[in-house]
Structure 1
Amino acid sequence: MLPPSARLPPIKRIAAHPPASLNDALQYLSLIYSPPVRGTRRRRAPTSSSVNVSTSTSEEPGADELRTDAFERAYAIKWLTALVSTLGDEQEGAPGSAASAHAHLVETAAALLAACAGTSAAGVVTRTLIFPAAGAPVRIALTDAPLDNADYASVGAQTWGGACVMSEMIAEDPGAFGLGRTAPAGGAPLRLLELGAGTGLVSLVLAALASRATAPVEIVATDYYPSVLANLARNVRANYPSSPPPIITTVPLDWAAFPGTPHAQRPCALQAPFDVVFGADIVYEAPHAAWLRDCLATLLRRPAATSISASDPTPAPVFHLIIPLRATHAAESRTVEQVFARTAPPGTGGSGDDDAAMALVIEDMQTLVCTTETPGEEVTYAYYRIGWGPAAEV
C-alpha cells in the first residue's frame, strides 16, 4: 500500500475532486486506520433485504506498518480535517443531491478522524461498526487493544468475526434473543450475561437495543485477563460515558475457578442467575466447553418446574454460542457437541419435570457461512442454542 502522503489527493485540491474520488480515498484510509473484521459477511438468500455493513476482508499488506507510522497518521489527520472543513463550507450552498453526497463524506471523514486519533504507535485500532436494526441502525465505537506478546490470551482484546455475526443477528431480531418484551408490572429486570466478552461488542449491541425497549435490562460483560478487562471497560465508557447507573457492568470471571467458588465470595453481579447468556468465539481450547457448562450450571436460570404460560414475558433461559469451525481447532469445536449432549427424544433420557434429570443440552444448531472479499475464501460458524432439557442417554 502507498502511504497516505503519496496516495491521497493533494490537500489544496480537495474541492476539485469529485465525490467518488474522495470516497475512494476515505475507503483507502479505512483499510489502514479502521480495518474491517474478517469473516463477518453472512451468505444470504438472494431475496434477503438486509445489509451487513460490517464489511470483512483480510488486512491489506503493509497496513500495519502504515498504521504505526506517526508521520503518516499525522498527515492523514491533517487531510481529513481539511476535507471536513472544505466540504462543510460547500455543503450549505450545494443542491440537494450534492449536499447529501457531501454530508456522507463528512460523516465518514469525521469517523475516520476519531479512528486516526485513537491509533497509537502501539497498534491500537478504533473502528465504528454499524448494524441494521428496526427504527435506526445500531452504531458502536470499538477499540481493539494491541496484542501483548507476553500473553497469548490478550487476543481477547481484538474484535473477532463471531462477535460481529452474533451482534448482527441480535440487531436483526432482538426478540429471538430475549429483548423487546413488554415490562411486567413490578417484574424483575431481564438479566443478560456475556461470557468471554473481549472488546464487548455483543454486550454493547444488547445495551443499545435494550435502551429502546420499555422493559428493564441488566447486562453483565465478563472476561478474565486484566488487559482484556481494561479494554472492555474502556469500550463501555466510550459508548456510555454518562454517570451511574451503568447499563453494562464489567466483571472478571475465571471459568475454571468459578464453579468451586463459594456463593458469598462471587462478585455481586454474578450471584443471581441470568435469563440469557451469550458467547462468541470463546471455545478454542479443549477444556473450555466443560468449563462453560459448569459455570452455566449456576449462571443460567433454571426454568420453572411447571410450564410457562404464553402470556409470561420472561424468555426461556438459553445460552447462545457461536464458534468458528476452524480446521486448526476442530477437536476443540467437537467438545461442544460432546459436552452439551443434544436433547433426548421424547420418552428417553428422563423427565423434563424432574429437576435432577435436567441438563444443559443443545436445542438447535445452525451453520452460518460467511464470505470475505478474498475470492473463494469462506469462514464457517456453528451457532448453538443451549438450554435446560432432558439429557440424552449415553
Structure 2
Amino acid sequence: MTSRYAMLNIAPSNYLPGLVPVPPPSSVLDSLSRLAAAYATPPSTLVDLRPSVYAYSAPGTSAHDASEDEDEAGDAFEFSFARGWLENVLALGSRALARGVDETGEWERAVDEAARLLADLSGPSAQGSTTKTYLLLDSAHGLSTPLAHPYPTPPPTRPSSTAPFLPHTSPSSGPASTSTDISSSSLRLTIRDGTLLEASTGHRTWGSASILAHLLAASPSRFFSSISPSPPTPSPPLRVLELGSGTGLVGLAAAAVLSRLGVGARGGAEVVLSDGGDEPQAVLDNLRGNVDANAAAIGDGVHVRVERLDWGDYVPRGNGPAPLEQVSPASSAAERFEILLGTDLVYERGQASLLHAAAAGLLRFPSPSSSSSTTSRPTFWLALPIRPTHADETAEVAELFPSRFSAAVATPAAQLRRTDPETGKTYRLVAVEREELLGPSGFVSSGRTGRGGAAAMGELRYCVLRIEWDEVR
C-alpha cells in the first residue's frame, strides 16, 4: 500500500526499529528524532483563505480519486504503526527507569520524547494552544500574492482546527499559483486556538468560520452592498455583530474587509464580537487577545469590541407576538445591527430557538427606504455544517428560519413574530437564500469510513443561509 510517507521514503514502518530484543536507548532516541521530523507541525500554522487559492467543491462531488483514497488509508496505517511503537517505547523505558539501569539518562530522555510525540499525535484536545495565520486577500483581487502551495490538509497525526479547501485545478488553468512571496499588502489575521479541554467549543475555529471568512473576503459586495463608493453625505456607522464568535475569525475578517473597503470615509463601522457559552470568561479573554493581535489589520474607521451576550436574554416573555419592549432592553432600536454573522452555532437541541430569539432581538428592522430591491436590507448570515448526527438540530433551524416561499411563512407561530414599534409592522425571519458547499470538517479521518475519499479527508457539507425580515400581512 502506498502513502505519501512511503513515497518520500519516510514511512515509520520502514525505519522504526523493532523493540525485541530491546535496542540501545541511543538508537531509540535517533528514531524518535526522525519520527518527530516526519510528523512535525509548526506552532504557527498558515491557512490560505484567499480567493485565488481557497476553493470549495459542489455538493455531490469529491475532490479525491481512488488513488488518493488509497493514499489516505496508507497514511492511516503508518500513523497507527507510529503510535503503537511509541506506546511500546514508553513501556520499555519506564521499566528500564524502574530497574535503575539508566546510567546515561538516555532512557529518561527517550520516555519524555515518546510521551511528547504521543500527545502530539493525539489531536487538538491533547495539545497546547496553537496560533494560525489566515490569509484573506491578495493584490490580484484589488485588496495581496499567491503562495508556493495552498496550505495542505494536515496529516492524520495532528488534525488542525481548520483545514482549507483544495485549490481549483483544471486542464486549462492548472494548479493554484506557485509564487512564494507574501506581499506586505496581503490581509492576514492571527487567531489563537486553545485546546478542546481548555474551554470547550469556544476555543476552536470551526470549519464553518473558514468558509464564511473566505466568502467575506472573496465577495465583500455580497455582504456589504449598503456601502456606497461615494455617498453624498456621511452616513451613520454600519453596525455588525458576530454571534457566538468563539475565536473571532469571522468578525475580525468582516472588520478587516470593511477597513479595506474604506468604510472609515463613509461614516465608519462598529463590529461587535460576542460570546456567552461554556466558560465564557476564558473564551472572552482569548477573543480579546485575538482582537488585540489583529489591531494593525483594521483601520481607524472600524471600531471592534468584545461583549458577553446571553441569547436567553432575548427570549420573548408571554405567549403572544413579542413587541420590542417585551424583549431584553439591550435590543432597543439603537442597539440593533444591520448585519449579523454566525457560524457553527447549533449543535444541541434547543439552541436554534435561543439563536432565533437573539437574532430577532438584535437584527434591525427594515426601514421604509430599504423596501427597494436595490437597497441593502438588514441581514443575518448563518453558516452551518450539515452533520448526519445533528439532523434534528438542522431541522430546527429550517423550521425557525424557513424559506420565504415555504408554507410555514404564511402563518408563522405567534412567538416567532416581532413588531417594529416605529412602523407597527409585524415581521418574521426567513431564509431568502441558501447555498450548499462541500468543505473540510476540520478533522482529518484516521482511516476509511465507508463513504469514499471525501470522508477520508474529513469533508462535510455546509449551508450558508441569508436570513432577512419578511413582513407578516
Q: TM-score, normalised by structure 1?
A: 0.65
Q: Residue 254 of structure 1: CA displacement?
A: 0.6
Structure 2 alignment gaps of length 5 or more: 1-11, 17-30, 49-53, 60-71, 87-109, 117-123, 145-185, 317-324, 412-418, 446-452
What SS does the corresponding residue of 2:290 show, helix, strand or coil? Answer: helix
- In the other structure, the counterpart of 2:337 is 274
- In the other structure, the counterpart of 1:300 is 363
Tell which has more relative contact order, 1 or 2 (C-alpha 8 A, sep 6+): 2
Deviations 1:169-209 (A, max 9, x none): 11100010116543631210111110000000001111111
Distance 1:243 1:36, change over 3 A: closer
Match of 1:320 among 381, 388, 395: 381
Q: Does 1:232 align with 2:279?
A: no
What SS does the corresponding residue of 1:295 show, helix, strand or coil? Answer: helix
Report the AA paired with residue 182 of structure 1. Answer: P
Distance 1:4 1:139 in 2: 35
Report the AA paired with residue 308 of structure 2. Answer: P
Match of 1:141 among 190, 201, 204: 190
Report the AA paired with residue 131 of structure 1. Answer: L
Structure 1 alignment gaps of length 5 or more: 10-24, 46-56, 76-118
Deviations 1:308-336 (A, max 9, x none): 55775xx2111000111111111011101
- In the other structure, the counterpart of 1:30 is 41
- In the other structure, the counterpart of 1:129 is 134
Q: Does 1:182 align with 2:229?
A: yes
Q: Does 1:379 align with 2:448?
A: no
Tell me if structure 2 keeps the 8 A contact 1:251–1:267. no
Distance 1:263 1:341, change over 3 A: closer
- In the other structure, the counterpart of 1:258 is 314
Alignment of 1:145-224 (within 5 A): 145-148=194-197, 154-178=200-224, 181-182=228-229, 184=231, 185-215=233-263, 216-224=268-276
Deviations 1:336-368 (A, max 9, x none): 11111321479x838x99853421111111211
Distance 1:262 1:356, change over 3 A: closer
Report the AA paired with residue 197 of structure 1. Answer: S
How many correspondences in the alignment?
307
Tell me if structure 1 keeps the 8 A contact 2:58–2:437. no
Q: Does 1:335 align with 2:396?
A: yes
Deviations 1:268-291 (A, max 9, x none): 9x9521111100111112222221
Match of 1:42 among 34, 38, 56: 56
Distance 2:230 2:312 in 1: 36
Alignment of 1:81-100 (within 5 A): none
Distance 2:354 2:220 in 1: 28
Deviations 1:222-256 (A, max 9, x none): 00022111111111111116998873110000101
- Larger C-alpha radius of gyration, 1 or 2? 2
Report the AA paired with residue 159 of structure 1. Answer: T
- In the other structure, the counterpart of 1:362 is 431
- In the other structure, the counterpart of 2:169 is none
Aligned CA-pair RMSD:
4.4
Distance 1:156 1:283 in 2: 13
Distance 1:243 1:173 in 2: 20
What SS does the corresponding residue of 1:188 show, helix, strand or coil? Answer: coil
What SS does the corresponding residue of 1:206 show, helix, strand or coil? Answer: helix
What SS does the corresponding residue of 1:367 show, helix, strand or coil? Answer: strand
Distance 1:355 1:4 in 2: 71
Tell me if structure 1 keeps the 8 A contact 2:401–2:429. yes
Q: Residue 144 of structure 1: CA displacement?
A: 0.6
What SS does the corresponding residue of 1:229 show, helix, strand or coil? Answer: helix
Report the AA paired with residue 439 of structure 2. Answer: C
Distance 2:46 2:32 in 1: 15
Percent identity, aligned pairs only, is 29
Report the AA paired with residue 194 of structure 2. Answer: A
Tell me if structure 2 keeps the 8 A contact 1:319–1:387. yes
Tell me if structure 2 keeps the 8 A contact 1:4–1:29. no
Tell me if structure 1 keeps the 8 A contact 2:380–2:466. yes
Q: Does 1:287 align with 2:350?
A: yes
Distance 1:246 1:343, change over 3 A: closer
Tell me if structure 1 keeps the 8 A contact 2:315–2:327. no
What SS does the corresponding residue of 2:433 show, helix, strand or coil? Answer: strand
What SS does the corresponding residue of 1:294 show, helix, strand or coil? Answer: helix
Distance 1:141 1:371, change over 3 A: closer
Tell me if structure 2 keeps the 8 A contact 1:129–1:139. yes
Report the AA paired with residue 363 of structure 1. Answer: V
- In the other structure, the counterpart of 1:6 is 34
Distance 1:278 1:140 in 2: 18
What SS does the corresponding residue of 2:402 show, helix, strand or coil? Answer: coil
What SS does the corresponding residue of 1:226 show, helix, strand or coil? Answer: helix
Distance 2:326 2:300 in 1: 28
Report the AA paired with residue 175 of structure 1. Answer: S
Tell me if structure 2 keeps the 8 A contact 1:361–1:386. yes
